[in-house]
Structure 1
Amino acid sequence: MSASQYRRQLESKRKQRVDAEKKAGEYRTKETDKRTAAAKARAAGEKAKSSTTRSSKLREAGRAEDAAATAGKEAGRWQGKASSYAKAEADLQSKLAKAEQSEADAAERRRQRDQQQAARRSAAETSALERRMSQTEAMVDTALRDLPTPKQEKLRVLILGAASGGDLRVGREQKRIRAAVESALHRDYIELDVRPAATTADLLDGITKFRPHVVHFSGHSDDDLIEFEDEVDEHHEGVIVTARAFAAAVKATDDPPLLVLLNSCNSAAQIDGLVEQVAPFAIGMADEIDDGDAIVYAAQFYSAIANGQSIKSAHLSGQAALQLAGLSGSELPTLAWAHDVDPAITVLVRGV
């Protein structure tokens, strides 16, 4: 429970205690008044010469004493409530102090994490710049790889989504990608194999059976790991796969993909290894990316690919879509490529 919730509960409990103490005081005052009235009536009855008057005063004294006893019981009941409220108030005060400390600690952790993310983003940008410069220099002296011209067959895209904790909208992303492709110019030349709740078995089966040209993953990842799901129906902790194991699985085929797209947090750290070992092109995210930003980028990227754009243009189009939507993650998608290929002239889909 948050500190603000504890504060509201504490304020409510304090008001209940004050009201109970006030009620107890009112009943104590009433008890005193009634006992005083009873004493006066009894004294008057003892002094009365008439038996009728004496009886009347004694009855009046009895009623006052009964009322005093009732008021005393009510005062005790309300005092008990006040004590109970005071105990609960002290317990809430202790919990509030712990919650405030916990939130302060969390704020400090967020501050440190933001600093680390800023440092990682800066390092990723520097690395990307150095990589591009190195690639440009290498391309001057090296002939570009003779990538095969797209055959008159559909571009096969394997889309893997994993969110075992239910905290990511991978289904929404897959729906947006499908809609973007279906409304594109060359929609008939793309085939999607969409696998939500993807397991490592789905990865291997998709690679060997579907033989994708593009492998797309959306879910959780980090600098050197990717998280798949397990074969269970309820929310659960994901199956952690190292970046090395993932790369080994993707290249375990006679027809390796041309592009691997990791639409997941901090995955840009993995793309250099992918272009060296697995595919000539790879895309990853330079830092943590919001769910909505990842969805917008992916939908626009595949829309541009299906419209016959090059990989580079599709990547720039996805970044532009984020900027046009006023989203903050446009600098996170990072494109890497092998030194002997050029994303500006590599087109994955061509119409007849």
Structure 2
Amino acid sequence: MSASQYQRQLESKRKQRAEAETKAGAFRSKESTKRAAAGKARQSAVKTKSEATFRSKMNEAERRETEAVTAGKEANRWETRAADYRKAERLLQEKLTRAEKSEAAAADHRQRQMEHQAAKREAAERSAVNERLSRAESSVGYVLSRLPEPKPEKLRILMLGASSDGDLRIGREMKRIQDAIRTALLRDAIEFDVRPAATPDDLLDGISQFRPHIIHFSGHSDEEFLVLEADRDEGGLSAEISARAFASAVRATDTPPLLVVLNSCSSASQIDALVEQVVPFAIGMSDTILDGDAINYAARFYANIANGQSLTSAHQAGKARLEMDGAEGCDLPTLASAEQADPVTTILVHQAD
């Protein structure tokens, strides 16, 4: 993950630790107050000559002591939790430091490359201007008389996975999706291009070479970014791609996809822009989703697609799968569509005649 993501996680962990320490202090204070009250009740019991008052005060002392023990246990529990948060903070700080060093080195390398390439482009562009003018002149007057008739073809799914830290089961998700399709009615009508350690170039090459109908992304994201892997041999390096840059990449083809699936945390905020500008349909997650829930939703969604069901039915089946498991995130998957696109009637895989 990127340094900015580690920084956000570190700030969240610090907040959790501070809240745990506050609660531990409150329960510890309550424990002291209850013990003092128990001692006071015992003193009163010793001083009284009334047997009824003695029993009453001793019962009160016992209640206060029980309350003190309960408060002490809660204080211990929150102190343990605060200690766990401190340990997590230290680990995140170490990862943040490494990520900042790695990103600084990568930025310096990119700057040197950009300066070198800028000089080459300047020379090449001067030569290309004349060539483009020549081609434009020769192509004037030629137009297409009609578009070719569409040809029957298989549904092509480009599967992109990225987890540079290895904290997501990318391979597991891709296998579950492929296994679900292999047992479906229309399995022979689907093709895959699987890229489990996807880089920015894998995204661009997959779109231009494979020309997918569906782009499926599995990895880390938030409201504004997707995280791919850096195209370098060192492990643990990531490439943070803005939602705008991702949309530009999906748009950069003569055959744009029909559906983009962002099976990653908090990605639903990106799908409205995709359906307004790029694709007819998009799916994202409205908040943080557990890895296992994301895998189960995707496997069921594609199983229904491969059984000839509509986009709406496949989406509802994926959500139902999570609800049947009792998952709290069953409402997180979100389907968006362009104004003139109807997911209820859209079926991506049809039975051959």
Could you tell me the TM-score, scaled by structure 1's length?
A: 0.58
CA drift at 1:329 = 1.3
The aligned counterpart of 2:196 is 196
| Alpha-carbon separation, structure 2, partners of 1:150 and 1:184 | 25
**Any gaps of 5 or more consecutive residues in structure 1?**
4-96, 108-148
CA drift at 1:100 = 4.2
Correspondence 1:322-333 to 2 at 5 A: 322-333=322-333
Partner letter of residue 162 of structure 2?
A
Correspondence 1:12-27 to 2 at 5 A: none
Q: Deviations over 1:180-232 (max 9, x none)?
A: 11110000000011110000010000000000000000000010100000134
Correspondence 1:1-352 to 2 at 5 A: 100=82, 103=85, 152-352=152-352
| Count of residue pairs brought into register by the alignment | 218
Partner letter of residue 103 of structure 1?
Y
| Alpha-carbon separation, structure 2, partners of 1:317 and 1:263 | 15
**Change in 2 beyond 3 A, CA 1:101/1:212:** same
Q: Secondary structure at the match of 2:219?
A: strand
Indicate if the aligned counterparts of 1:150 and 1:350 stay in contact, CA closer than 8 A. no
**Change in 2 beyond 3 A, CA 1:196/1:105:** closer
Q: Secondary structure at the match of 2:330?
A: coil
| Alpha-carbon separation, structure 2, partners of 1:99 and 1:334 | 34
Q: Deviations over 1:57-81 (max 9, x none)?
A: xxxxxxxxxxxxxxxxxxxxxxxxx
Q: Secondary structure at the match of 1:228?
A: strand
**Change in 2 beyond 3 A, CA 1:105/1:347:** same
The aligned counterpart of 2:58 is none
Partner letter of residue 237 of structure 1?
L
| Alpha-carbon separation, structure 2, partners of 1:330 and 1:151 | 38
Q: Secondary structure at the match of 1:262?
A: strand
Q: Deviations over 1:4-60 (max 9, x none)?
A: xxxxxxxxxxxxxxxxxxxxxxxxxxxxxxxxxxxxxxxxxxxxxxxxxxxxxxxxx
Q: Deviations over 1:102-159 (max 9, x none)?
A: 738989xxxxxxxxxxxxxxxxxxxxxxxxxxxxxxxxxxxxxxxxx99521000000
Q: Secondary structure at the match of 1:164?
A: coil
Q: Report the more deviating stretch, 326-335 or 268-277.
A: 326-335
Partner letter of residue 351 of structure 2?
G
Q: Secondary structure at the match of 1:253?
A: coil
CA drift at 1:101 = 6.4
| Alpha-carbon separation, structure 2, partners of 1:311 and 1:98 | 47
User: Which has the larger Rg?
Assistant: 1
The aligned counterpart of 2:37 is none
| Alpha-carbon separation, structure 2, partners of 1:292 and 1:99 | 25
| Alpha-carbon separation, structure 1, partners of 2:280 and 2:334 | 14
| Alpha-carbon separation, structure 2, partners of 1:222 and 1:104 | 25
Indicate if the aligned counterparts of 1:217 and 1:262 stay in contact, CA closer than 8 A. yes
Partner letter of residue 265 of structure 1?
C
Q: Secondary structure at the match of 1:346?
A: coil
Q: Report the more deviating stretch, 98-107 or 198-207.
A: 98-107
Q: Secondary structure at the match of 1:283?
A: strand
Partner letter of residue 240 of structure 2?
I
Indicate if the aligned counterparts of 1:157 and 1:191 stay in contact, CA closer than 8 A. yes
| Alpha-carbon separation, structure 2, partners of 1:346 and 1:316 | 14
Indicate if the aligned counterparts of 1:158 and 1:192 stay in contact, CA closer than 8 A. yes
How well do the aligned residues superpose, as a CA RMSD in angstroms?
2.7
| Alpha-carbon separation, structure 2, partners of 1:151 and 1:334 | 31
| Alpha-carbon separation, structure 2, partners of 1:248 and 1:318 | 28
CA drift at 1:323 = 1.1
4+ aligned runs moved over 4 Å, structure 1: 97-102, 104-107
Q: Secondary structure at the match of 2:192?
A: strand
Indicate if the aligned counterparts of 1:160 and 1:194 stay in contact, CA closer than 8 A. yes
| Alpha-carbon separation, structure 2, partners of 1:346 and 1:99 | 49
| Alpha-carbon separation, structure 2, partners of 1:208 and 1:182 | 26
Could you tell me the TM-score, scaled by structure 2's length?
A: 0.58
| Alpha-carbon separation, structure 2, partners of 1:324 and 1:230 | 37
Indicate if the aligned counterparts of 1:227 and 1:239 stay in contact, CA closer than 8 A. yes
| Alpha-carbon separation, structure 1, partners of 2:339 and 2:150 | 20
Indicate if the aligned counterparts of 1:150 and 1:349 stay in contact, CA closer than 8 A. no
**Change in 2 beyond 3 A, CA 1:233/1:349:** same
**Any gaps of 5 or more consecutive residues in structure 2?**
1-16, 18-78, 90-148
| Alpha-carbon separation, structure 2, partners of 1:341 and 1:219 | 27
Indicate if the aligned counterparts of 1:158 and 1:214 stay in contact, CA closer than 8 A. yes
